[in-house]
Amino acid sequence: MSNTNKELWETRLAYFDQLVEQCLDFVRKGKTMPYTSSNGHMFSLLNKAGELGVRLSKEDGQAFRDKYQTGNFTSHGATMRGYVLIPESLYGKDSILVDLLQTGFEYVNSLPPK
């Protein structure tokens, strides 16, 4: 990883941590692969490229993709089913992203436990 990529990843990790700290229902997990989970399901993830993905219901995911003109989230070269890629235009808009994390949390808690 180049210094520029490492700096971006570290900046995004700090931002991800800052967002999660604003959420009372869950905490960030993972040392090398930062994520959040509940009910046995992951619902947010920071990939090696410093991109953030959030897992949403099919309906919420499509509405988010349409509204923010974004696509699916990938990690380790694989498309993460049910996850949306958070566009760079939303970084710094904490209230939107905290609400989105909460929506992901509520979604995975509606699923059967793993």
| Structural domains present in the chain | 3-110 (3.30.1460.30)
Measuring CA to CA, which residue among 86, 52, 80 is closest to residue 67? 86
What is the percent of the chain where pLDDT is above 90? 92
Over residues 48-64, the pLDDT tens digits come to 999 999 999 999 999 99
Measuring CA to CA, which residue among 107, 112, 114, 9 is closest to residue 58? 107
Q: What is the pLDDT of residue 46?
A: 97
Instruction: Give the mean model confidence (pLDDT) for residues 62-77.
Output: 96
Give yes or no for a contact between 50 and 72, defined as CB atoms under 8 angstroms apart: no
| pTM (two decimals) | 0.94
The yes-or-no verdict on residue 1 having pLDDT over 80 is no
